[in-house]
Amino acid sequence: ELVLKVVKHYVALVKDRSDSAYRKAFNLFAESLRDQEIYNDFVQNSIYTLSKGCWNYDPRKASAIQVNNSTWIVVLHLTKVACLSRAILGLYTWLFRLGMVYGLYEIVAVALEKKNR
């Protein structure tokens, strides 16, 4: 599905951590979200860019839920691991709400929730 491709592309850009990749990720946001979260804050906000460290997720387990004709929720299950030992440090759910604007899906909202083990 197209909404999953948008979110997977966003995640790949964020994991790259370069300024050019962050700018491309930021441009996947709807204008309303970009107005709320200026770029310099975006790159520092772990809800949008994840904290430094090693993160894993299985893109095949991403799910998309259609809310209405133009709104979708995409859910990713993430695991933060120690970079060397690969020990699990935390389990998270990363949620994206996407809306269609002029025929293109844009990220309207993002939430990151830590799961209790």
Residue burial 13-44, b: 16+ Cβ < 10 Å; e: rest: bbeeeeeeebebbbebbbeebbeebeeeebbe
Which domain, by its residues, includes 47?
A: 2-114
Per residue in 73-86, pLDDT (tens digit) is 999 999 999 999 99
Domain count, the chain: 1
For 83-102, what is the mean pLDDT?
Answer: 95
User: With 90 as the cut, is the pLDDT of residue 116 above it?
Assistant: no
pLDDT of amino acid 117: 64
The tokens for 63 are 């799910």
Please name the amino acid found at residue 21: A
CATH number, domain containing residue 84: 3.10.450.100
Kindly report the pTM of this predicted structure.
0.93
